[in-house]
Amino acid sequence: MADTGLRSPFIPNTTEDRAAMLAAVGAKSVEELFADIPAEHRHPHLALPEALDEMALRREMEALAARNLAPGASASFLGAGVYHHFCPAAVAPLVTRGEFLTSYTPYQPEVSQGTLQGSYEFQTLTAQLFGMEVSNAGMYDGASALAEAALMACRITGHARVAVTGTVNPRYVETVRAYSAPQGIEVYTVDASAPALEPETAALLAQYPNYLGVIEDAQTQSDAAHAAGALFCLSADPVAQALFKPAGDFGADIATGEGQALGVPPSYGGPYVGIFTCKREHIRQLPGRIVGRTTDAQGRTGYVLTLQPREQHIRRQHATSNICTSTALVGLWATIYMALMGKQGLRRVAELCYQKAHYAAARIGELPGYFLPVEGTFFQEFVVSCPAAPERVNRTLEASGIVGGMDVSDRVPHGMLVCVNETHTKADIDLLVDALKGVF
Amino acid sequence: MAEFPPLSAEALNERRLLMERSRPGRTGASLPACDVPQSPLPDAGLLRDDLDLPEVSEGEVVRYFTNLSQLNFSVDTNFYPLGSCTMKYNPKVNEAMAALPGFAGLHPHQPARQAQGALEVLHRLQSLLAEVTGMAATSLVPLAGAQGELAGVLTIRAALEARGQGHRRKMLIPDTAHGTNPATAAMCGFSVVSIPSTPEGNIDLDAVRAQADGDLAGVMFTQPTTLGLFDRNAVELCRIVHEAGGLVYGDGANMNALLGRAKMGPLGFDVVHLNLHKTFSTPHGGGGPGAGPICASAELAPFIPGPIAVRDGNGAYELAMPEHSIGRLGGAQGNFGVLIRAFTYISELGREGMLDISGNAVLNANYLKARLRALFDLPYERGVMHEVVFSARKRKGATALNISKRLLDNGFHAPTMYFPLVVPEALMIEPTETESKETLDAFIEVLERIDAEAAADPDFLAHAPHETPASRMNEAQAARRPVLRWSREEA
Amino acid sequence: MDLPADRRYSKEHEWALHQPDGTVLVGITEFAQHELGDVVYVELPKAGAQVAQFKQMGEVESVKAVSELYSPLSGEVVEVNTTLKDSPELVNESPYAKGWLVRVKPANPAELDALMDAAAYASLTA
């Protein structure tokens, strides 16, 4: 290795250190330590850029960030599964504390009680928010959580067929299919309002509110699943459940969700956290990490990873999943968000979402050329049928610095899925309405 | 055994749960009044009756979680030589870059023209990782290492089907492998065949040859192995598997040793996953988030999960699904916030920096091996890569567990214990390149002191740790009668 | 190590004890419970299930391991020790009595002759 001393601020060994260590090892050079690599494969050409100093790096990254249109929540009306919500300033400094940020999975509970108690709080608060009996410590995201729910339902029932309503987020359905196909699990689509299940179906998968923002009759779905001997798996929005009945009220056997909605930045797709809750009778079929309460040798309350024989590091090919992460840090973000919002605050947020969205829908529905083609109660999202292709409408909005809604014209002619919530003031909404008017 | 002082009321108070701190009427959030004309709420039958969440003030929340954080060991506070986890220092500038509003505030479903900067980061990171691994294409989609494994093995499955070989079912996995490997193979519909290791710690090629038939789908192989060794049989392993019509999956968990030293593609791997939270220094977060991109050969590239970033003839970036993609594995295009950190890390280190990482990581591990071999059995008498696996079996009265717990008392995180399974009383130590010689020397000194304690007072060791925020936990109690959440009934 | 002479033993560390009513009680040995460590969960066949000699009939979990349970004889499970659901520690505390696993109506009582007596089992685990 060409010795360049203090090249990296992250590598402390000096030339002298290396010399002393090589002497202890009995090697002449660092290169000698790589002698097991076949000579013809050793030290290949590596076409990477030269190192950047921190100032140059910042300049480059800030320039890249500036090439994105990220006007903030107030000027964005895009949702479709990922939501800009207001997040109190207290969350980020706590989550980014090095003690949380740079620890590993809590295998040594004696020195990991911070992470473990944080996950126990997450399990408590998500279970309560979803009205479910138990929760695990977290999954990757909402889509993969629903896919794991489908696999879990197949393990529990012994069946290899899963029904999905036609109104589940299409990206979630694709994820369910990618996880199911290799295990020979058949995925078929059913009508959301009157699901007709085939025999030997393991689960009915539904979404609440559905992909187009509508609160569906989850009780009818749940009853249909149970009448057919299937489990009912509901992918539910966490914030919506602060206002509308939670998943547990419908007898959901497994309820999952995208934890991003709990104040986590959209960050172009992640990291998020998947929420995974279920009935207590199914805990030994849960995928992922689970934290449980116990006592230490002094009789003090403490927390540990538990029910570990379900997991890959013990049961290997017979594990309930290969997942190892609980996405603990994002789970902690969601936990602190729920703690700060609390009983009154989260309900207030949900009511504001409802009120702002309904105001916006009424205003847009009055505009010439626009109408609301989808019936049903909605929470913070609704479909607008536009006078032009949504793609064109969004370009017009962009000219005003506004990020428009999701193009759902593949489902609804000229359909745009608009999200309006607590982050929007009346003035923000009025600006959107004015900009939409300008499409003509 | 040391006596603990009785816990002060304040200390007990510190551990109370949020629901136990809750007082009606408190809140931790400042929210606006409604500024739009009110619409009637829907029928009460659709609405929630009661929301059972805590009521606590902002100051209480901040103090609670700040105090909780201080019960943790972390890389920022402690040496964390946890083998196979690559607990290196996580540069702070990476955090700052991921938090830039232009990145953190970007919605994943915005049109490509509004996300050119983010897409350029994805595209450039895809190229950087393909170059580091010597592969043709990268998917940044997988959300963690285990999902990277899932993506890689599903890609192999799809490629075999495209060859008309979809009937192949056997996946070979060395007995030293992480548990995720067999769990992943099973999730992908393969049957697992365990392959033993030779006395030198390489994969047993005779056992591989015995399985090299028309039912062989492939092998999942970690290089360097979990024994911390560069497997000298691996090139031949790849040749045998390819000749039999199978494909080779590379578990990149230990890539830190190989940066700039060898490329996985030329070594014979068809697809490999990388743990950005290990090799490329994104923080572990107490168990995630991670990111587990996969890099694939030209033959396998059309099958990798999407969407991935592509560049059109005009230099504009967009997201696209690979031609025969296995599909989506999540709701968006990967853990972008984690990918940003890895991208900035590679940019900071550059080409020479990659060699500095692997060189110093391997030197540090070999230094620990040389200095600690007087204390422990060394199961394989050869140079190690980024980590060293010892056996504690010759220490009378000092199990790997007890030594590890006593390390905690001395401010060092425990090594990985009892893994890999082929080494009895295994202690797997990975120092990484970001630790100084002084830290390693202090660690060695503490292990020597523990060794002396083991001889003098084995019972003291058996009850360690004595000075940590919590003592040994009753894990049997937790598993026998699982209490997985606070509940009002119980409280 | 405690090894009652009134029953037969399998090399998979299960015991089988004839009952006056013709059924056979099945459990795991002191040696097995010691090797497993703290038992936290036992998964057993349901009453009415058929089990086959030396074939898997369930699983026993300790904190960080899982082991398969093999039936020492063939027959129909007529009763399951339901107290283990809430108190799996009985397998550790009382492997030969309160920690029994299942009661089996033997399909072929002669099968028990293929098992070891206490002395033979003792030499196996010595």
Q: Which chains touch A (3 or more CB pairs under 8 A)?
A: B, C
Pick from A318-322, A421-425, B333-337, C46-50: least confident: A318-322
Cα–Cα distance for residue pair A425/A252, rounded to 1 Å = 35
pLDDT at A8: 85
**For tokens 């080779």, what's the residue?**
B248
Grade residue B394 by pLDDT with cuts at 50, 70 and 90.
confident
Contact partners, residue B52, CB within 8 Å, separation at least 6? A128, A343, B19, B488
B207 contacts B170 by C-beta, under 8 angstroms: no
Taking the CA of residue A119 and the nearest CA in chain B, the distance in Å comes to 10
* B318 HSE (CA, 13 A, CB side): 10
Q: Give the CA angle between residues A426, A427, A430 to the nearest 5°.
A: 85
State how far residue C40 is from chain B, nearest Cα, in angstroms: 5
Q: With 50 as the cut, is the pLDDT of residue B2 above it?
A: no
Q: Are the beta carbons of C41 and A308 separated by less than 8 Å?
A: no
Q: For residue B412, what is the DSSP state? A: B
Summarised one tens digit per residue, pLDDT across range A419-436 is 999 999 999 999 999 999
Tell me the C-alpha distance between A330 and A334, whole Å: 6
Residue B107: pLDDT band by 50, 70, 90 thresholds? very high
Of A206-210, A236-240, A343-347, B455-459, the least confident: B455-459
Query: Which A positions 334-393 lie with beta carbon below 8 A of chain C?
Result: none
Phi, psi dihedral angles at B390 (to 5 degrees)? -110, 165
For chain A, give the mean pLDDT.
96
C-alpha distance from A59 to closest chain B C-alpha (Å): 10
Query: Cβ–Cβ of B41/A111 closer than 8 Å?
Result: no
Binding-face residues of B in 414-443 toward A, CB within 8 A: 414, 419, 433-437
- Taking CA atoms, what residue in B is nearest to A287? B183
| B 124-143 near A (Cβ less than 8 A) | 128, 131-132, 134, 143
Which residue's structure tokens are 């990659």?
B354
The answer to whether the CB of A324 falls within 8 A of the CB of B146 is yes
Which structure tokens are listed for A134?
A: 């138990």
Contact B133, B294 (CB under 8 A): no
Q: How many C-beta atoms surround the C-beta of residue A6 within 10 A?
A: 9
**Scanning the structure block, which residue is given the tokens 């989260």?**
A346
Residues of A in contact with B433 (CB under 8 A): 10-11, 13
C interface test, pick of B416, B480, B481, B483 with most C CB neighbours within 10 Å = B480
Q: What 3-state DSSP class applies to B221?
A: strand
CA distance A162 to A152: 11
Question: Taking CB atoms and an 8 Å limit, are C65 and A284 in contact across chains?
Answer: no
The stretch B325-347 carries a mean pLDDT of: 98
The pLDDT of residue B7 is 53
Percent of chain B with pLDDT over 90: 93
Q: Is the pLDDT of residue A440 over 80?
A: no
Q: Which amino acid is at B473?
A: M
Tokens representing B427 are: 């202690």
What's the rounded mean pLDDT across residues A198-206? 98
Q: What is the mean pLDDT of residues B14-20?
A: 92
Report the share of chain A in percent with pLDDT over 70.
Answer: 98
Q: Is the pLDDT of residue A6 over 60?
A: no
pLDDT score for A335: 98
Residue of B161, B292, B144 whose CA lies nearest to A182: B161
Strand order in the sheet with A415-419: A381-385, A415-419, A406-407
- The rounded percent of chain C whose pLDDT value lies above 70 is 99
Cross-chain Cβ contact A46/B354 below 8 Å: yes
Q: By the 8 A CB rule, do A333 and A345 touch?
A: no
3-state secondary structure of A296: strand
As a whole number, mean pLDDT of residues A405-415 equals 97
Minimal Cα distance from A313: which residue of C? C64
**Residue B3: its pLDDT value, please?**
46
Record: contact B132-A341, CB cut-off 8 A: no
Interchain proximity B476–C38, CB inside 8 Å: yes
Determine the Cα–Cα distance for residues A4 and B349; give it in Å rounded to an integer: 13
Partner-chain contact A321 B183, CB within 8 Å: yes
User: What CA–CA distance (Å, rounded) separates A247 from A235?
Assistant: 8
Residue A308: list chain C partners with CB under 8 A.
63-64
Among all residues of chain B, which has the CA nearest to that of C63?
A: B476
pLDDT attached to residue B327: 97
pLDDT grade, residue A313 (50/70/90)?
confident
Q: How far, in Å, are A176, A207, B151, B153, B157 from residue A182 at the CA level?
A: 11, 24, 11, 10, 8
Task: List, in sequence order, every residue forming a beta bridge with C42; answer none if it has no partner.
Answer: C60
Query: For residue B307, is the peptide bond before it cis, meaning its omega torsion is within 30 degrees of 0?
Result: yes
CB contact under 8 Å between B479 and C61, yes or no, is yes
* DSSP for residue A419: E
Of A60-64, A397-401, B417-421, B474-478, the poorest mean pLDDT is in B417-421
Q: Which residues contact B8 (CB under 8 A, 6 or more apart)?
A: none
User: Least CA distance to C38: which residue of chain B?
Assistant: B476
Report the gap between the CA of B456 and the closest CA in chain A (Å). 23
List CB contacts (< 8 A) between B476 and chain C: 38, 40, 62-63, 89
The pairing of strands A274-278 and C8-9 is: unpaired
State the Rg of chain A over Cα.
Answer: 25
Q: Using alpha carbons, select from A70, A47, A90 the residue that is nearest to residue A337.
A: A90
DSSP assignments along C44-72, one per residue: -PPTT-EE-TTSEEEEEEETTEEEEEE-S
Contact list, C39 vs chain A (CB under 8 Å): none
Alpha carbon B215 to its chain centroid, in Å, reads: 31
Q: Is C61 in Cβ contact with B480 (below 8 Å)?
A: no
Query: Which of A335, A264, A230, A276 lies closest to A130 in space, CA to CA?
Result: A276
Burial label, B57 (beta-carbon count in 10 A; 0-12, 13-18, 19+)? middle
In this structure, are residues B420 and B176 in contact, taking their beta carbons and an 8 Å threshold? yes
Q: C-alpha distances in angstroms, A423 versus A264, A289, A346, C26?
A: 14, 33, 13, 64
Mean pLDDT along residues B379-387: 95
pLDDT digits (tens, 9 = 90+) for B464-485: 999 999 999 999 999 999 999 9
- List the single residue in B39, B47, B347 with the smallest CB-CB distance to A52: B347
8 A C-beta contact, residue A265 and residue A329: no
- Taken in order B161, B164, B170, B171, is the CA torsion positive or negative? negative
Residue from C98, A317, A267 nearest B149 by CA: A317
Return d(Cα B272, Cα B224) in angstroms, integer. 13
Over residues C45-75, the pLDDT tens digits come to 999 999 999 999 999 999 888 999 999 999 9
Q: In Å, what is the CA distance from A345 to each residue of A337, A338, B243?
A: 10, 9, 63
Q: How far apart are CA A418 and CA A290, in angstroms?
A: 36
Structure confidence by residue, pLDDT tens digits, B275-323: 999 999 999 999 999 999 999 999 999 999 999 999 999 999 999 999 9
Contacts of C93 in chain B (CB under 8 A): none
- Partners of A314 on chain C (C-beta within 8 Å) are 64-66
Give the nearest partner residue to A342 out of B28, B262, B340, using CB atoms.
Answer: B28
Angle between helices A426-437 and A328-366 (to 10 degrees): 50
β-bridge partners, A112: B72
Name the residue with higher pLDDT: A440 or A155: A155
Closest CA to A302 of B35, B471, B282, C72: B471
Per-residue pLDDT of A352-392, as tens digits, reads 999 999 999 999 999 999 999 999 999 999 999 999 999 99
**Predicted local confidence at residue B17, as pLDDT:** 97
Q: Where are the alpha helices (DSSP H) in A158-250?
A: 170-180, 218-227
- Distance CA(B247)–CA(B239), nearest Å, equals 10
Q: What is the chain B residue with the closest CA to C85?
A: B480
Q: What is the pLDDT of residue B396?
A: 67
Tokens at residue A303, please? 């927390």
**How large is the average pLDDT for residues A151-171?**
98
Place of tokens 């999942």: B220
pLDDT band per the 50, 70, 90 thresholds, residue B12? low
Q: Which of B20, B38, B69 to mutate: most A Cβ within 10 Å?
A: B69
Among partner residues A72, A345, A422, which is closest to B27 by beta-carbon distance?
A: A345
Q: What's residue B5's pLDDT?
A: 53
The amino acid occupying position B176 is T
DSSP-assigned beta bridge partners for residue A162: A187, A203
In what order do the strands lie in the sheet containing A254-258?
A: A134-135, A274-278, A254-258, A231-236, A203-208, A161-165, A186-190
For residue C126, name the pLDDT band (cuts at 50, 70, 90): confident
Name the residue type at position B108. Answer: P
Give the model's pLDDT for residue A1. 45
Burial of B77 (0-12, 13-18, 19+ CB in 10 A): middle
User: Are residues B357 and B349 in contact, defined by beta-carbon separation less than 8 angstroms?
Assistant: yes
Peptide bond between residue B420 and the one before it cis (omega within 30 degrees of 0):
yes
* pLDDT of B13 strictly over 70: no
Mutate to test the interface with A, among B143, B181, B418 (most CBs of A within 10 A): B143
**Which among C41, C63, C87 has the least Cβ separation from residue B475?**
C63
Binary contact (B476, C40; C-beta < 8 A) = yes
User: What pLDDT score was predicted for residue A164?
Assistant: 98
Closest by CA to B369, choosing from B67, B13, B81, B78, is B81
Confidence of residue B14 (pLDDT cuts 50, 70, 90): confident
